[in-house]
Amino acid sequence: MIGWLIFFFVLFLASLGYASYKSYSKNRSSDEFMLAGSNIGAILGFLTFSAALFSAFTFMGMPDFFRTHGVGAWIFLGLSDALMVFFLIWFGYKLRKRASEVGYKGVAGFIQSCFQNKWAGYLIFVSSFLFLIPYVAIQIRGISIFLDAAFPNLIPGWGWASILVVLMLVYSEIGGLKAIMYSDAIQGLIMLVVIWIIGYTCLQMVGGLEVGIAKITQSNAGLLSLPGPKGLFSSPFLIASAIAIVMIPVSQPQFTTRLVIMKDLKSVHKMAYAVGFFAILVILPTAFIGLYGAVSYSESSTAEFLSAALLYDQASPVAALAVVGLFAACLSTTNAQIFALGTELRSLLSGSDKKIMRITQIAIFIFSIIVLVFSTYMSDELVLLARVSFAGTSMIAPVVLGAVIFKNPPKSLLVLSACALLYFVGSLAEVVPAGFAGLPTDAAMYLILIPATTLLMLVHHFSSKTTHEA
């Protein structure tokens, strides 16, 4: 297997090197470095968006999620991703229209300009920092779990994490956002091919889909029902999860920026539909791997199941591809999110272009080190951790939606989102109750945020209309 691993890994590194080389420009501006020239077509846009969206938690977390919680995971992920696609079309149109009016260097700077309030930009940056850092750490943690279990005496977990961080930094610092997008396209295709090869082999090992379902029916029928064997997929959980995932393009800057830098609205529409199709293609084989795990490794730990399903139970070439596919899945998301944090900071800075670029590059390095340290303390529940990240960033969605809907958005939305974010963080830190009225924190917050946001927007709309008429 080692020979195959070296072969595929060299090809993988060569592809990343080529992407960085093609994207490098000696005399580039900070706009070229951070925003890729703002002329991205539908194909590259859809591949980089999909690769940033589906990551190590997809490759590793989702099969384990299916194995543990059953078919409800498909409903949870499939429905949420489908809704997000349709939302992308509307939001992409509104965002691009407002960005053309006020300018765009990042979500934080964009919000700052729309609200004419410097604290609005810092609210966006703090939210991104608080929840993107853990999400990036999820990817690093996922790879470390797998590789440490697969090669227990080769390199410690922090060593694998360090390799990933170094790779991410090298080609992002060399080529900027364009290098990241080209590498994302390559890594997204690698991830899709590899996960289907593994999913198909796992399905064959279990005896096919019908045989696998029959075995599950006999051993643990709860996996084929809602809310699942552990009762996870309750109505509040599903609704809150759908809202959090639908809000990803609004609340996570790496996706918001990708909508703005598309060359035209037609490309945005094509990209949105393609992302939905890609989601189906990616999620389906993870269900096959999860089915195999539920049949053959129902009592095993996450690390034992993943190392067996992705490595030990596979032929040597497939196992080698799995390792490379995991690296690709991890890097495609981590680089997008770390770079997005750099973009958000850059959008709040002032000074010469050279100074801003230097500060941004240093910040990206510091963010990467923080992620490396944070990844050593993460839990193994990768999908649930990802969901917390989605929910946390969605607390600032009222601010972003207000900015794209109104030319003069109500300042009350800033207060609303700030309070929601503060409470959500407090609940995670166990300073305030985690949920109320029998609902989990995110569901309870949405129950307040959605009607409150709607009410504030309606009041602002009619008051502005009245003032204009007067």
Say what the pLDDT of residue 418 is.
Answer: 95
Q: For residue 23, what pLDDT is reported?
A: 65
Paired tokens of 391: 């929910």
Q: Supply the pLDDT for residue 24.
A: 62
The pLDDT value given to residue 339: 83
Topology annotation, domain 2-382? Sodium/glucose cotransporter (1.20.1730)
Task: Report phi then psi at 27, rounded to 5.
Answer: -110, 50
pTM of the predicted protein model: 0.84
What span, in angstroms and rounded, lies between the C-alpha atoms of 96 and 108?
A: 15
pLDDT of residue 51: 82
What residue spans define the domains of the chain?
Answer: 2-382
Token pair for 17:
């090197």
Q: Do residues 266 and 102 lie in contact, with contact meaning Cβ atoms separated by under 8 Å? A: no
Give how far Cα 326 sits from Cα of 40, 114, 187, 192, Å. 26, 40, 9, 11
Determine the pLDDT at residue 354: 82
Per-residue DSSP letter, 395: G
Q: How much is the CA Rg of the chain, to the nearest whole Å?
A: 22
Span 388-427, pLDDT tens digits: 777 888 899 999 999 999 999 999 999 999 999 999 999 8
| CA proximity to 148, closest of 336, 335, 371, 326 | 326
DSSP 317-355: HHHHHHHHHHHHHHHHHHHHHHHHHHHHHHTT--S-HHH
Enumerate residue ranges in the chain where pLDDT < 70: 1, 23-38, 149-150, 171-175, 377-386, 465-470
